[in-house]
A = this chain, B = another copy of it.
């Protein structure tokens, strides 16, 4: 990491504070992305025990293909990665499996299955079959969890109760299929900002109401700070999830305001927004979760930054805001 520098246009040089010492270029100068602010702490490097559970969700470095994401994750000293199906499909499953095995990385999750709120019988069957393929991929890659994003209201429908009911039915149809493959389904409750068009399961309480209809080695829940930070009583729901051994993934990123114009890309780097990561993380740790912790950030500015700088920033933020509270 000798080429770390502030992203163009993101550092306010008008404040009179020049991050470059008078003596010349400081080789250790590092800057957070996307804020452009000087790094508040040294970057944890390969071998640093604090990185043991940190996982890069591949969408955080959306401009990297699978090869680059694997290499970047290894280079940053992480031992885990959360993979998305589209970049796997680009190279083919067998190649992806080979690369992952050669890399030594764990696959923390496969993102994503779900999208099963349709009322149309043919579409339901297609969605089910697609989820079976996703489960096959998760099993082949050794991922313990397939993340399920339920999907939004079907086109033209305003029946949210019905869509939620069908999502639960679709989970039921997949539960034993998942277990047979050694994969646990992870229902991801999503911020209500996405209730209409992306995910009709809106709270951890609601996700647990579904998951608890099945065995814990069949269906669990994904605990994502962005989606759940606002939920009244979320600490109690996290405890409930932990008591039932239902937490299959802990994902972190921040809620920033003002929201970017494209709300799908409104996630921020931990520390750049309003979420209390120490308190949230303590709740997850107290609930007994010992798995990997993914950083998943959909954000145009993050995507525009060099992947290595994104990884360095998220490792620093994780080391200060998350790891001490595990």
Report the stretch among A61-69, A102-110, A225-233 that lies at the interface. Answer: A225-233
Q: Are A259's CB and B193's CB within 8 A?
A: yes
Identify whether the interface residues of A are mostly helix, strand, loop, or mixed: loop
Q: In the complex where A192-B192, A193-B259 touch, is A158 in contact with B275 (Cβ < 8 A)?
A: yes
With A158-B276, A196-B273, A276-B158 as given contacts, are A232 and B203 in contact (CB-CB < 8 Å)?
yes
Asked if B273 and A230 make an inter-chain contact with CB atoms under 8 angstroms apart, the answer reads: no
A164 to chain B minimum Cβ distance, whole angstroms, is 8
Find the residue from A159, A160, A192, A274 having the highest chain B CB count within 10 A: A192
Contact pick for A202, options B195, B232, B258, CB 8 Å: B232
Q: Which residue of B lies closest to A203 (CB)?
A: B232
A153: which B residues are within 8 A, CB to CB?
274
Q: Is the CB of A159 within 8 A of B195?
A: no
CB-CB under 8 A from A196, the residues of chain B are 230, 255, 257, 273-274
A33 in the interface, Cβ–Cβ < 8 Å? no
Distance, CA A164 to CA B279, complexed state (A): 16
Q: Which residue of B lies closest to A235 (CB)?
A: B161
Distance in angstroms between the alpha carbons of A257 and B263 in the assembled complex: 10
Q: A160: which B residues are within 8 A, CB to CB? A: 229-230, 274, 276
* A290 on interface, CB distance cutoff 8 Å: no
* In the complex, chain B residues whose CB is within 8 Å of the CB of A192: 191-193, 230-231
A248 within 8 A of B: no
A197 at the interface (CB under 8 A from B): yes
A206 interface residue, CB < 8 Å from B?
Answer: yes
Complex Cα distance, B159 from A279, in Å, reads: 9
| Chain A residues numbered 181-221 whose CB sits less than 8 Å from any CB in chain B | 191-193, 195-197, 202-203, 205-206
Asked if A261 lies at the interface with its beta carbon under 8 angstroms from chain B, I say yes
Distance of A262 Cα from B275 Cα, bound (Å): 21
Closest to A232 in B: B206
Binary B-proximity of A148-179 (CB < 8 A = 1, otherwise 0): 00000100001110001000000000000000
Minimal beta-carbon separation of A239 from chain B (angstroms)? 15
> What is the bound-complex CA distance between A259 and B152, given in angstroms?
14
Query: 0/1 per residue, A260-271, Cβ < 8 Å to B?
Result: 011100000000
**Chain B positions within 8 Å of A259 at CB level:** 193, 263
B residues within 8 A CB of A257?
Answer: 196-197
A262–B261 alpha-carbon span in the complex (Å):
7
Contacts of A164 in B (CB 8 A): 232
- Give chain B residues whose Cβ lies under 8 Å from the Cβ of A229: 160, 195
Chain B residues with CB below 8 A from A230, complex form: 160, 192, 195-196, 202
Q: Are B276 and A159 in contact (CB under 8 A)?
A: yes
CB <8 Å contact, A231 and B202: yes
Give A155 Cβ to nearest chain B Cβ, in Å.
11
* Smallest Cβ-Cβ distance to A162: which chain B residue: B276
**A-B residue pairs in contact (CB < 8 Å), sample of 5:** A153-B274, A158-B276, A158-B279, A192-B193, A202-B232
Query: Could you list 11 further interchain pairs (A-B, Cβ under 8 angstroms) beyond the known A158-B274, A205-B232?
Result: A153-B274, A158-B279, A164-B232, A191-B192, A191-B193, A196-B255, A196-B257, A196-B274, A202-B230, A261-B261, A263-B263
